[in-house]
Structure 1
Amino acid sequence: MKTKKFSVVGVIFLSIALLLSACGGKNTNNGTAPAPSETGGGEQISAVYFVNSTLGDKSFFDSAEAGMKRAVKELGIKAKTVEGGTNQADWAASLESLVSSGNYNVVVVGTSQMKDITIDLAGRYPDVKFIFFDDTIDGVPNIYSMLYSQSEGSFLAGAFGALVTTSTELKGANPEKVIGFVGGMDIPIINDFKSGYEQGAHYVDKDVKVVASYVGDFSNAPKGKELTMAQINSQKADIVFNVASAAGLGTLEGANEKGVYSIGVDANQNPLYPGSVLTSMLKNVDQSIFRAFELMQKGELKLGSSEVLGMKEGGVGLSKDELYEQHVPQSIKDKMVEIEDKLSKGEITVKSSL
Structure 2
Amino acid sequence: MKRKRNLKTLTIMFAVLMLLLAACSNKSSGDTKGSETEDGLSVGYYVNHTLGDKSFFDSAKRGVDKAEAELGYKAKTIEGGTNQGDWAAGLESMVASKEYDVIVVGTSQMTEIVGEIAQKYPDQDFIFFDDVVADRDNVYSMTYSQSEGSFLAGAFAALVTTSSELSGANAEKVIGFVGGMDIPIINDFKSGFEQGAAHIDSGVQVIASYIGNFADAPKGKELALAQIKSQNADIVYQVASTAGLGVLEAANEEGVYSIGVDSNQNNLYPGSVLSSMLKNIDNSVFRALELYKEGKLEFGTQEQLGIKEGGVGLAKDDLYEEHVPQSIRDKMTEVEEKLKSGEIVVESSL
TM-score (norm 2): 0.89
Deviations 1:156-200 (A, max 9, x none): 000000000000000000010000000000001100000000000
1:118 aligned to 114, 123, 127, which one? Answer: 114
Equivalent position of 2:169 in the other structure: 173
- How far apart, CA to CA, are the structure 1 residues paired with 2:224 and 2:169? 16
- How far apart, CA to CA, are the structure 1 residues paired with 2:275 and 2:131? 24
Equivalent position of 1:281 in the other structure: 277
Asked if 1:206 corresponds to 2:202, the answer is: yes
Mapped contact 2:278–2:315 kept (Cα < 8 A) = yes
- How far apart, CA to CA, are the structure 1 residues paired with 2:248 and 2:188? 21
Mapped contact 2:34–2:101 kept (Cα < 8 A) = no
Mapped contact 1:165–1:179 kept (Cα < 8 A) = yes
Question: Identity over aligned residues, as a percent?
Answer: 68
Asked if 1:41 corresponds to 2:4, the answer is: no
1:84 aligned to 80, 83, 88, which one? Answer: 80
Shift of residue 39 of structure 1? 5.0
Do the aligned partners of residues 95 and 40 (structure 1) sit closer, same or farther apart at CA in structure 2, a change above 3 Å counting?
A: closer
- How far apart, CA to CA, are the structure 1 residues paired with 2:35 and 2:122? 15
> Which stretches of structure 1, 4 residues or longer, exceed 4 Å deviation after superposition?
none
Where structure 2 has 5 or more consecutive residues not aligned to the other structure, the ranges are: 1-31
Shift of residue 137 of structure 1? 2.3
- How far apart, CA to CA, are the structure 1 residues paired with 2:178 and 2:33? 40
Give the AA of the match of 1:227. Answer: L
Structure 2 counterpart SS, 1:288: helix
Asked if 1:252 corresponds to 2:248, the answer is: yes
Structure 2 counterpart SS, 1:185: coil
Equivalent position of 1:146 in the other structure: 142
Structure 1 counterpart SS, 2:296: coil
Give the AA of the match of 1:126. Answer: P
Equivalent position of 1:241 in the other structure: 237
Asked if 1:108 corresponds to 2:104, the answer is: yes
Deviations 1:235-272 (A, max 9, x none): 11000001000000000000000000000000000000
Structure 2 counterpart SS, 1:247: helix
Equivalent position of 2:337 in the other structure: 341
- How far apart, CA to CA, are the structure 2 residues paired with 1:100 and 1:206? 54
- How far apart, CA to CA, are the structure 2 residues paired with 1:297 and 1:48? 14
Mapped contact 2:36–2:293 kept (Cα < 8 A) = no
Equivalent position of 1:8 in the other structure: none
- How far apart, CA to CA, are the structure 2 residues paired with 1:233 and 1:69? 41
Equivalent position of 1:189 in the other structure: 185
- How far apart, CA to CA, are the structure 2 residues paired with 1:282 and 1:39? 30
- How far apart, CA to CA, are the structure 2 residues paired with 1:161 and 1:132? 31
2:308 aligned to 306, 312, 315, which one? Answer: 312
Shift of residue 128 of structure 1? 0.6
Structural RMSD (CA): 0.9
- How far apart, CA to CA, are the structure 2 residues paired with 1:334 and 1:42? 47
2:227 aligned to 226, 231, 241, which one? Answer: 231
Give the AA of the match of 2:306. Answer: G
Where structure 1 has 5 or more consecutive residues not aligned to the other structure, the ranges are: 1-37
Give the AA of the match of 1:351. Answer: E
Mapped contact 2:181–2:213 kept (Cα < 8 A) = yes
Equivalent position of 2:20 in the other structure: none
Structure with higher helix content:
2
Equivalent position of 2:21 in the other structure: none
Shift of residue 276 of structure 1? 0.1
Mapped contact 2:263–2:277 kept (Cα < 8 A) = yes
Mapped contact 2:155–2:198 kept (Cα < 8 A) = yes
Shift of residue 295 of structure 1? 0.8
Shift of residue 40 of structure 1? 3.4
- How far apart, CA to CA, are the structure 1 residues paired with 2:272 and 2:67? 33
Give the AA of the match of 1:250. Answer: G
Shift of residue 298 of structure 1? 1.5
Mapped contact 1:178–1:237 kept (Cα < 8 A) = yes
Mapped contact 1:267–1:283 kept (Cα < 8 A) = yes
Equivalent position of 1:4 in the other structure: none
- How far apart, CA to CA, are the structure 2 residues paired with 1:341 and 1:136? 28
Deviations 1:308-340 (A, max 9, x none): 000000000000110000000000000000000
Mapped contact 1:39–1:45 kept (Cα < 8 A) = no
Deviations 1:104-154 (A, max 9, x none): 121110000000000000001011100000002233100000001000000
Structure 1 counterpart SS, 2:175: strand
Structure 1 counterpart SS, 2:136: coil
